[in-house]
A and B are shown apart, each in its own frame.
Chain A
């Protein structure tokens, strides 16, 4: 039986995931999440997978390449989307190697420069689309800018 197209969303728990959930809010394909800690109960995701987290641990990143390959074989995504953190790096690499579309939105929390994951993905060209949420930073790094995942303004406060 042919499966529905799936988008793999890769985002660490907390702010990265909050931004990812805003950013994919109009995607009508099946969404599957890969995260480091599953703190979600109700969510738009059909399935949630967890993966080991590390900032700079080369061994963990190496092991995560195999975990990511296994998840991609299982889910067969038509595209992948990430807002970081570092857990996205193996998926960006495998996206490049397998020709699976990888769309990256650098986190809003880095205002004046890209995140470390963003710098790595940009430097090695491991993306099909690379977006930044701050205009000046997008210009500085040659990234696309289409605004922020959510509105930082007054939002009707009294």
Chain B
């Protein structure tokens, strides 16, 4: 049986997201080889690897898209690029917004965008929240590949086109 993939993504910005790394490495599933992990760590320093899987700092966009497509669960910072990918691939996601109080960004805009997420399969972990214990059975249940959906707003794109070419 193919192991379900848990993808962790911290984005491309220069602020380390140590709190998210500490969350995942404190979860027993990080050391459980029934799951495969891929951790895109950005500028976060890491000291422990998962039982099964790899940690990479940055990867090409196409590789990230393929990992999202194959993943059963995504754990992500609340960046707009990540949100776009997860919506496109209809994934179950645990979003952890970066906050300035922990030196994870220069401001709290990720909390603002997190407040706009209305999707039932997307959970937001606020700074005061505990990180939820990951459940293997739930992850196994979510281990599905689905066709991506096109979520581009073509009405806006047509207006931009007119402004650039009209």
Contact = CB atoms under 8 A, between A and B. Distances in A.
Interface in B119-166: 119-121, 149, 151-161, 163-165
Contacts of B119: 153-155, 157
Given A27-B161, A79-B165, A152-B116, A15 B109 contact: no
The winner among B13, B61, B80, B119 for most chain A CB atoms within 10 A is B80
B115 interface: yes
B165 A29 contact: yes
Which secondary structure dominates chain B's binding surface? helix
Contact of A41 (B12, B60, B165): B60
A150 B153 contact: yes
Contact of A111 (B79, B88, B113): B113
Interface string A116-143: 0000000000001101000000000000
B164 A149 contact: no
Interface string B95-126: 00000000000100110110111111100000
Contacts of B159: 131, 146
Interface string B10-24: 011100000000000
For chain A, give the interface size range.
35 or more
Nearest to B144: A158
A157 B91 CA distance: 8
Closest 3 CB pairs of A and B: A15-B80, A15-B81, A111-B112
Interface of B: 11-13, 58-62, 79-85, 87-88, 90, 106, 109-110, 112-113, 115-121, 149, 151-161, 163-165
